[in-house]
Amino acid sequence: MHSSFQRSKIKASLASVIAGAIIAFALPSPAHEGEAHGERGHGKAKAAPTKKQGTHKSADVRLVMPKMDSAKGMRLFASKGCVACHSVNGVGGHDAAALDAHTMRTVMNPFEFSAKMWRGAPAMIAAQEEAMEGQIYFTGQELAHIIAFVHDDAQQHKFTEAMIPANIRKKMHHTHGPKPGHQKEIGHGGKGMMHK
C-alpha cells in the first residue's frame, strides 16, 4: 500500500509538470510577446527582461566608447582650426579660453567636456565663421582624440607653432572689424609658455 501511494503521488506530480509545460508552450514567451501583438523588430526577438525592470545588461546598450589618442588629437587641434581661437602650451589664439590641461580637473568625463562645448555652441560657431569662414565639423572619433589632447599635459608640451598648417595660420590673422586679431598672439612670439 505504501508503494502504491508513492506511485500515485509520482504520477500526479508528473501530470502537473506535463500540464505546466503544455500551458507554457501555448502562451507567448516574454521574448516574443511583442510579436504576438503584431509588433516586429528587425528580424530578432526582443531580449527577455532582466531581473530588475528598467535595468539593462551592457550588451543591451548599443554604445561603444571610442579609442582616444592624444597625439592624433594634437594634430587635429591644429588642422581643424581649434588653435585659431584656443591656445595650448602658449600656442594659438586668445579669442576663447586657453585649454591647458594643467588648469583643468585631474579627471573629467569626456561627455561633460562635450556638454560644455554644446552650451557655448552659438558663440563658438560665430567665432568659427569669423575666423575660419565657416563652421568647423567633427566626427565623434575626431572629437574623442581632441578631448584626449586637451586633457593630456605631457602631450601638450609637444605642441608648437610649427605644427599649425599654413592654411590655418593664414586664417588666424583674421581681423575683428578694423583692429587686427592674432598677429602677435601665435605662440607669444614663438616661445612656448611652459608651465611649472
Low-confidence ranges of the chain (pLDDT < 70): 1-59, 173-196
Total structural domains within the chain:
2
Residues 11 and 38 in one domain: yes
pTM of the model: 0.60
- Shared domain for 109 and 12, answered yes or no, is no
- Domain membership flag for residue 142: yes
Contacts of residue 134, defined as CB under 8 A and 6 or more positions apart, other chains included, come to: 128
Q: What is the pLDDT of residue 119?
A: 94
> Residues 76, 165: one domain?
yes
Q: Quick check: 76 and 146 in contact, CB under 8 A?
A: yes
Does residue 60 lie in a domain region? no
The separation between the first and the last C-alpha atoms of the chain, rounded to the nearest angstrom, is 94
What is the domain extent for residue 30? 2-55
Q: What is the pLDDT of residue 3?
A: 53
Q: Decide if 79 is inside a domain.
A: yes
Q: State whether 32 and 121 are in the same domain.
A: no
Instruction: Provide the pLDDT for residue 131.
Output: 85
User: Could you tell me if residue 63 is inside a domain?
Assistant: no
Give yes or no: residues 78 and 22 share one domain. Answer: no
Residue 88 pLDDT: 96
DSSP at 27: S
Report the pLDDT value the prediction gives residue 6, as an integer from 0 to 100. 53
Together in a domain, 51 and 79: no
* 3-state DSSP helix/strand/coil % of the chain, to nearest 5: 50, 5, 45
22 bridge partner residues: none
- Asked whether residue 30 falls in the same domain as residue 83, the answer is no
